[in-house]
């Protein structure tokens, strides 16, 4: 019963098989191999738009590099309070941007709202030399509390963003989970809703390591290859990254995996509710947040369930996070339910 993270599972066997297939023969290094071309073609088809794709080592790298392309070092990047880019990357965005300022707004546990964004922007008048300049807005979808932005919600934020002369970034470390929930196309949730640059992550969804910066506007990607290289994120044997993206897309693996993870989370949420502990936030993707009496939390741990307490300012009753992945089994969920009943 491992609900610690969608990172603690290994990789889907189809991914490893794809890497083995990509291993045959010589291929040019540094991103001009056959598999990298196939990756770009597959992602362009997936998004319904010609995209520029830059694989990197981690989601943190994807986010930080993407933001460094969107914000000068005197820029401000607006994000939701508690965003991964603000609190969980040890300042990687600041490092890559050369010291741009991340401005958290709204509150963790919800979505960024147009009202919050508009209100915050008032404090950052453009052209005042003493202030950092509004440069980009970044949202995470599905977000850090397992909530999902709908295309129209994305669009509303993107319009404010563009109206203020900024660029719009989406951290899609769990984009597949959001898509599985919404049933919309990848294009509808991204570029058609105003996303300029996407951090696309398939690692949590079953890859070994498959993260990329995806540009929907070719002009915006100019010189990005140098940034990636300087960050040490241009892989020599790039075929092995590319092959993972191809494998995710070619036979619907991404959707099967995301649906499995979301389904398991939904089952957990239902079990918590049935036990009298409805989740703290709606369970819209593959994460369940729930307040439990500490004694119960301890008992679940003792019974062999792995999960994390969650930092939470508000409550006396502690909050816990349970994450499901493609690898979560029906058996694990059932065993957990039984533990919960005891």
User: Among residue numbers 129 through 188, which ones bind a second copy (CB under 8 A)?
Assistant: 129-133
User: Which region, judged by CB under 8 A, interacts with a second copy, from 189-197, 229-237, 272-280, 288-296?
Assistant: 229-237
Q: Residue 86 contacts by C-beta under 8 Å, 6 or more apart in sequence?
A: 79, 93, 102, 104
> Hey, which residues between 18 and 57 contact a second copy (CB under 8 A)?
19-20, 22-30, 56-57
* Structure-token pair, residue 216: 């929907």
Of 10, 165, 293, 309, the one binding a second copy (CB under 8 A) is 10
Q: What minimum distance in Å lies between the beta carbon of 286 and a second copy?
A: 15
Counting contacts by CB under 8 A, is residue 97 touching a second copy? yes
Place of tokens 């300012």: 313
Rounded to 10 degrees, what is the CA torsion of 234, 238, 241, 245? 110
Residue at token pair 């995806």: 214
Q: Which stretch, 9-17, 108-116, 136-144, 269-277, contacts a second copy (CB under 8 A)?
A: 9-17
Among 50, 298, 311, 334, binds a second copy (CB under 8 A): 311
Give residues 185-214 in contact with a second copy (rule: CB under 8 A): 203-204, 208-209
112 secondary structure, DSSP code: -
Q: Which of residues 321-340 bind a second copy (CB under 8 A)?
A: 327
Least Å from the CB of residue 87 to a second copy: 7
d(CA 33, CA 241): 11
Site for a second copy contains 126 (CB under 8 A): no
| CA gap 260, 208 in Å, rounded | 18
CB of 314 to a second copy, least distance (A): 13
The yes or no reply on residue 66 touching a second copy (CB under 8 A) is no
Smaller CB separation from a second copy, 30 or 252: 30
Query: H helices of 98-214, where?
Result: 114-121, 151-163, 175-182, 186-189
- Closest distance to a second copy from the beta carbon of 304 (Å): 11
Provide CB contacts within 8 A for 211, sequence distance 6+.
55, 56, 57, 58, 59, 61, 62, 173, 199, 200, 201, 202, 203
């Amino acid at each position: 019963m491992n609900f610690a993270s969608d990172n603690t599972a290994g990789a889907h066997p189809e991914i490893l098989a794809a890497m083995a297939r990509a291993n045959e023969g010589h291929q040019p290094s540094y991103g001009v191999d056959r598999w990298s071309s196939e990756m770009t073609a597959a992602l362009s088809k997936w998004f319904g738009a010609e995209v520029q794709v830059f694989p990197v080592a981690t989601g943190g790298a994807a986010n930080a590099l993407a933001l460094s392309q969107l914000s000068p070092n005197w820029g401000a990047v607006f994000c939701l309070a508690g965003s991964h880019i603000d609190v969980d990357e040890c300042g990687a965005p600041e490092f890559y941007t050369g010291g741009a300022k991340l401005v958290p707004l709204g509150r963790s546990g919800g979505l960024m709202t147009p009202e919050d964004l508009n209100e915050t922007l008032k404090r950052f008048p453009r052209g005042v030399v003493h202030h950092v300049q509004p440069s980009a807005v970044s949202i995470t979808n599905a977000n850090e509390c397992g909530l999902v932005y709908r295309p129209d919600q994305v669009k509303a934020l993107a319009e404010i963003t563009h109206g203020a002369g900024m660029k719009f970034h989406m951290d899609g470390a769990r984009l597949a989970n959001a898509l599985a929930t919404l049933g919309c196309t990848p294009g509808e949730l991204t570029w058609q809703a105003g996303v300029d640059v996407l951090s696309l992550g398939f690692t949590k969804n079953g890859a070994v390591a498959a993260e990329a910066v995806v540009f929907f506007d070719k002009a915006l990607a100019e010189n990005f290859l140098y940034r990636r290289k300087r960050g040490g994120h241009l892989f020599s044997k790039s075929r092995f990254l590319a092959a993972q993206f191809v494998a995710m897309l070619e036979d619907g693996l991404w959707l099967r995996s995301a649906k499995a993870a979301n389904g398991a989370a939904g089952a957990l949420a239902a079990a918590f509710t049935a036990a009298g502990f409805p989740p703290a936030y709606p369970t819209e993707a593959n994460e369940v947040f729930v307040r439990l009496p500490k004694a119960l939390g301890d008992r679940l741990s003792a019974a062999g369930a792995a999960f994390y307490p969650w930092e939470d300012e508000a409550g006396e009753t502690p909050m816990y996070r349970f994450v499901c992945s493609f690898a979560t089994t029906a058996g694990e969920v059932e065993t957990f339910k039984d533990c919960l009943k005891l």
